[in-house]
Amino acid sequence: MKKTGIAIAIMGLGFGLMSGGVSAADMVVKLGHVGPLTGSISHLGKDNENGALLAIEEYNAKGVTIGGKKIKFEIMGEDDQADPRAGTTVAQRLVDAEVVGVVGHLNSGTTIPASRIYHQAGIPMISPSATNPKLTQQNYAGVFRTIANDVQQGGAIGKFATGALGAKNIAIIDDRTAYGQGLADEVEKSAKATGGKIVAREFTNDKATDFMAILTKIKAQNPDVIFFGGMDAQGGPMLRQLKQLGINAKFITGDGACSGEMLKLAGDALSGNAYCTQAGLPLDKMPGGKDFKERYKKRFNLDVQIYAPYAYDAAAAMIEAMKVADSTVPAKYLPALKAINFQGVTGNVAFDAKGDIKEGAITVYQYKDGGWNPVP
Amino acid sequence: METLLQQIVNGLVVGSVYALVALGYTMVYGILGLINFAHGEVVMIGALTALQTLLILMGVAPDMAPLLKLAIAVLVAMPVCMILGFLMERLAYRRLRNAPRLAPLITAIGMSFLLQTLAMIIWGRNYHTFPQLISTTPMQPIPGVFVTPVQVAIVIVSALVMAGLILLVTKTRLGRAMRATAENHRVASLMGVDTNAIIGLTFIIGAGLAAVAGVMFASNYGIAHYAMGFMPGLKAFTAAVLGGIGNLGGAMLGGIVLGLVEAVGAGYIETMTFGFLNSSYQDIFAFVILGIVLIFRPTGLLGERVSDRA
């Protein structure tokens, strides 16, 4: 009780200082974080928030001085329930609370509409996990992400199919959603560019359960590799039906079906022929991964889920940019954020002209021993 | 050639499920002139009830023979759906029997949402894995054509159930009462037929068929979900219209034809239109066929001309 009282007092003081522009010893600077903290993927949302929290706590402990003032960073955490409407509501709340930057949101579907609100308010945002290319194609100056996007993912899948898997003939299926179709188009481009031939391009939808007709058609084309752009709810039954039709081609799918749920839904149809990809690196492969894992565990007594290191780097990028610009004012540190280049937990953090991470990594997983294992 | 045969197999399997669900639509329409849009949801409830039963059985008696487990699951799912069908009629539709046509239609749509939401509350939003107790390992009766035992079971069970229904309607006293009620409620009741009971029974039988269809659907695809009933329901309704709504044989024929048209359409639409259309038009293709049939035969393939229903 007493602690909260003090915190509120400090926050109040911080506000007073910011609005009054009076310099003093300690200044509170608030960063927003948004992710789903309720609902089916709330564990991922909390993981992201913890990642960002760990970053600011470490900077606070080290001590950051900007514009001659010692800065104390705070996280204002909001819940968007993975719902686009709730996403824009909490985005507005963060804008009203005058945060200087936002780490989030988690899903592409919530991040894209929310990004407009941050853009209009002139507040930079960095998503640690939204992979849809559209996010950065809006040409909003203050929108970044620390994770590879679906263009990079699709490119990697195409190259993996023609390269490591040695595929000549490739069949592509997508579920006609923005995500599935976008990813499938990138796979097609990249596979063609690396010498693959697209022998079939078939479509289904994100509510379908029967793929026998399109798979039968694909079978007649005798592909080496079948790619599916879509979610696990379709990917699982599709894999079962491949087996029922006696199709032995290798099967690759994107991050939407690269889940534990996919393992359940596909059941005994899974074999070493099944591959999937995830944006980003497994924690152990990240340059700062091992160390991060321990720090995270020590602080929260939890294991890292997926994106916490990306949220950590997103928060760190903002603070590093503020240090370079020697200002916490969004308009002043934004140019520094665009040009930021530092070694983060996940690798080198630097953004291209659109705001995408420059060296976005993609990891390919193969089904083995009951789970997805990174292909070495 | 193998591809065409394989597509025909695919179409027959899907079509059998459509046919079984379509019977529920067509029976209710035949007797009440009501399109029970919640019928697809009964399919879903059937599948999820069976899933729940299987999960319990696997916990209680893991060593039980798989087919016995499945049989018990069906025997639990059917009465549950039958009770649901009866309650739907009794609580939602009976009061509206003499209301303007739109009222029961809207009620049916509302019932569909209600059942979906209830299922979501009970079973959650996640997709569930439905245990595939009948083998899905493919056999090749003709080289290059793959058929799984579960697919064979689906076609056989549908055929048996449909034959049983036809016998019931054409050969028994009960069936005669049903046909009489369909022709004219009031006259039938004057002749001593308890029309309320007959109408209730129609819903019960339709729901029982839907439960079987739900279990077959879930076993074939290995998946169950609170929204799984919507698409098959819509397709089955289309099948019922295609075959001539109100006509039992028509529903079966419509289901099989729709399944075949979908499978063959998805497989060959691109070649037939020289790459102009592709498999994303799979569903549209089925509806184009429906449109053409209705232009030339407004009452469907086997539909008869009937005077306006009450």
- Enumerate the domain spans of chain A: 2-147+284-359, 151-279
**Phi, psi dihedral angles at A307 (to 5 degrees):** -100, 0
Residue type, A183: L
Beta bridge partners of B224: B128
Q: Which residue from B127, B140, B146 is facing A233, i.e. has the nearest CB? A: B127
Q: How confident is the model at residue A1 (pLDDT cuts 50, 70, 90)?
A: very low
- Confidence at residue B286, expressed as pLDDT on a 0 to 100 scale: 77
Chain A hits for B14, Cβ within 8 Å: 210, 212
What kind and span of H or E run contains B297?
Answer: none
What distance in Å separates residue A339's CA from the closest CA in chain B? 42
Cβ burial, residue A73 (10 Å; 0-12/13-18/19+) = buried
Q: Which residue from B126, B227, B266 is facing A214, i.e. has the nearest CB? A: B266
Q: Do B11 and A204 touch (CB under 8 A)?
A: no
- The pTM of this model reads 0.81
| pLDDT digit string, tens, across residues B160-212 | 999 999 999 999 999 999 999 998 889 999 999 999 999 999 999 999 999 99
Q: Do B127 and A261 touch (CB under 8 A)?
A: yes
A2-147+284-359 with A151-279: one CATH topology?
yes
* Domain range A2-147+284-359, its CATH number among 3.40.630.30, 3.40.50.2300, 1.25.40.10, 3.40.710.10: 3.40.50.2300
pLDDT tops 50 at residue A149: yes
- Confidence at residue A75, expressed as pLDDT on a 0 to 100 scale: 95
Q: Burial letters for B153-186: b for 16+ Cβ neighbours within 10 Å, e otherwise?
A: bbbebbeebbeebeeebeeeeeeebbebbbeebe
Question: To which residue do tokens 């940019």 refer?
Answer: A321
- Confidence at residue A22, expressed as pLDDT on a 0 to 100 scale: 42
Q: Per residue of chain B (310 residues), what is the pLDDT tens digit? A: 889 999 999 999 999 999 999 999 999 999 988 999 999 999 999 999 999 999 999 999 888 899 999 999 999 999 999 999 999 999 999 999 889 989 999 999 999 999 999 998 999 877 899 998 988 889 999 888 999 999 999 999 999 999 999 999 999 999 999 999 998 889 999 999 999 999 999 999 999 999 999 999 999 999 999 989 998 999 999 999 999 988 899 999 999 999 999 998 888 877 777 777 777 777 777 788 888 988 998 888 887 655 444 3
**Residue A305: CB atoms within 10 Å:** 16
CB-side exposure of B162: number of CA atoms within 13 Å?
A: 26
Chain A hits for B221, Cβ within 8 Å: 209-210, 237, 240-241
**ipTM (interface predicted TM):** 0.89
| pLDDT digit string, tens, across residues A254-287 | 988 888 888 989 998 999 999 999 888 888 889 9
Question: Considering chain A, what percentage of its residues have pLDDT values greater than 70?
Answer: 93
What kind and span of H or E run contains B232?
Answer: helix B230-243
- Confidence at residue A168, expressed as pLDDT on a 0 to 100 scale: 94
Which whole number is the average pLDDT over A67-84? 92
Chain A hits for B263, Cβ within 8 Å: 212-213, 216
Q: Which residue from A203, A209, A243 is facing B280, i.e. has the nearest CB? A: A203
- Confidence at residue B294, expressed as pLDDT on a 0 to 100 scale: 87
Nearest CA in chain A to B222: A237
Interface test with chain A among B146, B234, B284, by most A beta carbons within 10 Å:
B146
A131-138's contacts with Cβ under 8 Å and 24+ in sequence apart are A131/A255, A131/A279, A132/A108, A132/A178, A132/A179, A132/A182, A133/A182, A134/A108, A134/A178, A134/A182, A135/A108, A135/A111, A136/A354, A136/A355, A136/A356, A137/A354, A138/A112
- Confidence at residue B135, expressed as pLDDT on a 0 to 100 scale: 87
What distance in Å separates residue B279's CA from the closest CA in chain A? 6
pLDDT, averaged across chain A = 89
What distance in Å separates residue A165's CA from the closest CA in chain B? 25
User: B263 and B210 in contact (C-beta within 8 Å)?
Assistant: no
| pLDDT digit string, tens, across residues A303-337 | 888 889 999 999 999 999 999 999 999 999 999 99
- Confidence at residue B236, expressed as pLDDT on a 0 to 100 scale: 94
Q: Which residue has the higher pLDDT, A199 or A20?
A: A199
Q: Which residue from A40, A214, A240 is facing B222, i.e. has the nearest CB? A: A240
Domain A151-279 class, CATH top level:
alpha beta
Write the CA distances from A152 to A87, A157, A184, A353, integer angstroms. 26, 9, 12, 15
Q: Which residues contact residue A30 at a Cβ distance below 8 angstroms, ignoring those fewer than 6 apart? A: A14, A73, A74, A75, A76, A97, A98, A99, A100
What's the rounded Cα separation, in Å, for the pair A213 and B11? 8
Interface test with chain A among B17, B216, B221, B277, by most A beta carbons within 10 Å:
B221
A134-138's contacts with Cβ under 8 Å and 24+ in sequence apart are A134/A108, A134/A178, A134/A182, A135/A108, A135/A111, A136/A354, A136/A355, A136/A356, A137/A354, A138/A112
| pLDDT digit string, tens, across residues A158-196 | 999 999 999 999 999 998 887 888 899 999 999 999 999
